[in-house]
């Protein structure tokens, strides 16, 4: 296995800026040439607390952003940090979304899944793609980046009504029927992504999905995030997977494993 120093030893970075997107979500900005691509993630060490996987929500080669939702003990401690405080970063890790100039893309993001979808959209627009940006969230405090994207050319923002389960899927169907979409990318709740997978499969459209599984090392050594029945690691062969591969995963849309490997049903 090819393991480099950047995989195992965190760089210690001061927080350059903190943006409060909503009461539940903050973006932490760092001045550092991480060089991540949309869909990739880092392991973020909150000193004295824990190390957690986070997707980059933007990276221009000089600075990168992490957009985090406060959900539990580690993210709660992270939210207490201030500008200038130090964070440990390993990575970038994993696979990334694939797109080409001229593509017409539909993205389906839910909750904090909008963080990588935002970065993907910015990168795709820069490359000359058109984007139908579909978002859903269970609460208004979980929407982010909408005003920023609405100001940009070649992107249409479609917001699913709050609390209406499945509404993002209806918006995706509408976008597919009125546009020549040739790529679908998603990062959302797995049950929503299962529907996206089925729609893309039936329509014969190239699709990539983001799988979230409990991760410890980030580079394929510990085996914590192995997927049934293929045995591949989400941190290394993912987290961005082609739909064809996802459809061979018997656990997809059914269960995941917690920190000690117990199966938890969706």
Ligand X SMILES: Cc1cc2nc3c(=O)[nH]c(=O)nc-3n(C[C@H](O)[C@H](O)[C@H](O)COP(=O)(O)OP(=O)(O)OC[C@H]3O[C@@H](n4cnc5c(N)ncnc54)[C@H](O)[C@@H]3O)c2cc1C
The nearest distance, CB 73 to ligand X, in angstroms, is: 4
Site string for ligand X, 188-227 (x = CB under 6 A): ------------------------xxxx------------
Residue pair 108/190 in contact (Cβ under 8 Å)? The answer is no
Give the one residue of 10, 27, 45, 53 binding ligand X; rule: CB under 6 A. 53
Give the one residue of 23, 33, 61, 72 binding ligand X; rule: CB under 6 A. 72
Binding residues with ligand X: total (CB under 6 A): 21
| By the rule CB under 6 A, 39 interacts with ligand X | no
Residue from 111, 128, 114, 15 nearest 56 by CA: 114
Using CB under 6 A as the binding rule, the residues of this chain from 101 to 140 that contact ligand X are 112, 115
The nearest distance, CB 220 to ligand X, in angstroms, is: 13
Choose between 115 and 199: whose C-beta lies nearer to ligand X: 115
Give the one residue of 27, 36, 67, 186 binding ligand X; rule: CB under 6 A. 67
Angle among Cα 219, 248, 201 to the nearest 5 degrees reads: 115
Give the one residue of 11, 22, 32, 74 binding ligand X; rule: CB under 6 A. 74
| By the rule CB under 6 A, 255 interacts with ligand X | no
Interface stretch with ligand X, choices 62-70, 120-128, 167-175, 192-200 (CB under 6 A): 62-70
Interface stretch with ligand X, choices 67-75, 97-105, 136-144, 242-250 (CB under 6 A): 67-75
User: Three-class SS string for the chain?
Assistant: CCCCHHHHCCEEEECCEEEEEECCEEEEEEECCCCCCCCCEEEEEECCCEEEEEEEEEECCCEEEEEEECCCHHHHHHCCCCCCCEEEEEEEECCCCCCCCCCEEEEEEEHHHHHHHHHHHHHHHHCCCEEEEEEECCCHHHCCCHHHHHCCCCEEEEECCCCCCCHHHHHHHHHHHHCCCCEEEEECCHHHHHHHHHHHHHHCCEEEEECCCCCCCCCCCCCCCECCCCCCEHHHHCCEEEHHHHCCCCCCCCEEECCCCCEEEC
Compute how many other C-beta atoms are within 10 angstroms of the C-beta atom of residue 66.
25
Choose between 75 and 237: whose C-beta lies nearer to ligand X: 75
Position of minimal CB gap to ligand X:
72
| By the rule CB under 6 A, 144 interacts with ligand X | no
The nearest distance, CB 49 to ligand X, in angstroms, is: 8
| By the rule CB under 6 A, 40 interacts with ligand X | no
Residue ranges binding ligand X (CB under 6 A): 41, 50, 52-55, 67-69, 71-75, 112, 115, 212-215, 239
């Amino acid at each position: 296995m090819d393991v480099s120093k950047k995989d195992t030893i965190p760089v210690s970075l001061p927080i350059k800026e903190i943006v409060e997107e909503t009461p539940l979500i903050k973006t932490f900005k760092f001045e550092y040439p991480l060089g991540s691509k949309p869909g990739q993630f880092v392991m973020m060490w909150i000193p004295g607390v824990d190390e957690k996987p986070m997707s980059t929500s933007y990276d221009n080669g000089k600075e990168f952003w992490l957009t985090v939702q406060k959900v539990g003990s580690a993210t709660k401690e992270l939210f207490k940090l201030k500008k200038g405080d130090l964070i440990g970063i390993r990575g970038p890790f994993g696979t990334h979304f694939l797109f080409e100039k001229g593509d017409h893309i539909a993205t389906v993001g839910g909750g904090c899944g909008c963080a990588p979808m935002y970065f993907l959209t910015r990168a795709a627009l820069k490359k000359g793609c058109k984007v139908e940006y579909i978002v859903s969230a269970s609460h208004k405090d979980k929407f982010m980046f909408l005003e920023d994207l609405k100001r940009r050319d070649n992107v249409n923002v479609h917001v699913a009504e709050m609390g209406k389960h499945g509404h993002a899927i209806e918006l995706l169907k509408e976008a597919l029927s009125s546009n020549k979409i040739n790529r679908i990318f998603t990062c959302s709740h797995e049950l929503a992504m299962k529907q996206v997978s089925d729609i893309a499969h039936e329509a014969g459209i190239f699709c990539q999905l983001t799988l979230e599984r409990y991760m410890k090392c980030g580079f394929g050594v510990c085996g914590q995030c192995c997927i049934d029945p293929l045995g591949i690691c989400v941190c290394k062969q993912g987290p961005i997977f082609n739909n064809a591969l996802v459809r061979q995963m018997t656990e997809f849309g059914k269960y995941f494993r917690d920190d000690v490997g117990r199966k938890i049903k969706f």
